[in-house]
Structure 1
């Protein structure tokens, strides 16, 4: 059931990586050790304040984590993310873009900053291609995903460890590589009209299986440690016998 999430590279992303590869293969004397390809994204005007934060605090946190400079046009919602001279890893610039995109989709700063970590991903599910253009159908599907008093959404988050935001015509998910696919599959099944209780039961089953697998791995790790300790003890005994 778990789908492997991937970062879909846009043309700008590909250009960024090509720029980086060109830089690393160039003459060191000509290489200025900087990435020059800026990233651009547009976010809803009402979310600009969250990106900036009080006194610019949110923007400063994003910039510090991703070694970037964030420029925002408050009239259009256009955001330019420029690499700082010390930036060497192009992935950080893509992380900055994902963080801003996540805030634009309704996530809090703390939720969005998880995307600066290696194992966290953002998935955005656009409803119109799946439900059709009728607003009534989109509203109905959003209500099913959220559930009464937000219960369905909260249960998906609890069972997968992911964060969900239902905003406008999208459902967005932030989560770890191993879990985000399960959350996405559950959402897609709800959109398709599957029984919600069955969808959530499947998630519970997957969570139990994952917990068993984790316990098995920990047990195997403990056994390896015990074996290593036994070997060390035997080596010490042999060494002591040799000294005698």
Structure 2
């Protein structure tokens, strides 16, 4: 069964990679066949091997299309529990100025907010175009998504950071560690 994914024009080169290297790696590791229409960004993804691995193929392509590096997108294959999710920032924005402001709040000064979301959740996070993208385990994705939604709803950064730290501490306790052991 073939699935169709559309990615932005400026991400086609990243998907294909130098000399087609990235495309072949995705095909090999995800056990899919990719047919890329470089005119319009349409990508046909067809499973060729293990159906479970093949199910991740469209998400790998979508993740690269949403700004993730190919290695981060391919991490979706690391185990069955890794997920890719996006938030459409444009939907939360009233106009172009509001979109820029909301994106800026998600990124933070010198990228610090995005980095803290990654650091405190363990997920990979990208803000690209008008989307917030996240790759991680189910809990990591859920917490990163909640933090992003808080920021988009106008919550102060300090409140979001406190939320993230509290969730991180809960997760570490669940794993039998405390925050100080984790941070050394």
TM over 0.5: yes
Q: In the alignment, which of 159, 176, 183 is matched to residue 198 of structure 1? A: 159
Q: In the alignment, which of 71, 78, 81 is matched to residue 119 of structure 1? A: 81
Q: Distance in 2 between matches of 1:88 and 1:123?
A: 23
- How many residues are matched? 176
| Contact 1:39 1:93 (C-alpha < 8 Å) held by counterparts | no
- Partner of 1:215, secondary structure, is coil
The structure with the largest strand share of the pair is: 2
Q: Do residues 179 (structure 1) and 159 (structure 2) align?
A: no
Deviation at residue 88 of structure 1 after TM alignment: 4.4
Which residue pairs with 2:181 in the alignment? none
Tell which deviates more after alignment, 102-111 or 57-66: 57-66
Compute the RMSD of aligned alpha carbons.
Answer: 1.2
- Partner of 2:80, secondary structure, is coil
Structure 1 runs of 4+ with >6 Å offset? none
Q: 1:88 to 1:115 in 2, by over 3 A?
A: closer
| Contact 1:38 1:83 (C-alpha < 8 Å) held by counterparts | yes
| Contact 1:66 1:96 (C-alpha < 8 Å) held by counterparts | yes
Q: TM-score, normalised to structure 1's length?
A: 0.70
Deviation at residue 93 of structure 1 after TM alignment: 2.6
Q: Distance in 2 between matches of 1:83 and 1:211?
A: 38
Structure label with greater radius of gyration: 1
Q: Could you report, residue by residue, the CA deviation over 1:127-151 in whole angstroms, capped at 9, with x for unpaired residues?
A: 222223x000000001111111111
- Partner of 1:107, secondary structure, is coil
Q: How does 1:154-233 map to 2 (within 5 A)?
A: 154-215=115-176
| Contact 2:47 2:55 (C-alpha < 8 Å) held by counterparts | no
Q: 1:93 to 1:198 in 2, by over 3 A?
A: same
| Contact 1:190 1:196 (C-alpha < 8 Å) held by counterparts | yes
Deviation at residue 169 of structure 1 after TM alignment: 1.2
Q: Could you report, residue by residue, the CA deviation over 1:59-79 in whole angstroms, capped at 9, with x for unpaired residues?
A: 111111121111111111111
Deviation at residue 43 of structure 1 after TM alignment: 0.6
Q: How does 1:88-127 map to 2 (within 5 A)?
A: 88-89=50-51, 91-116=52-77, 117-127=79-89
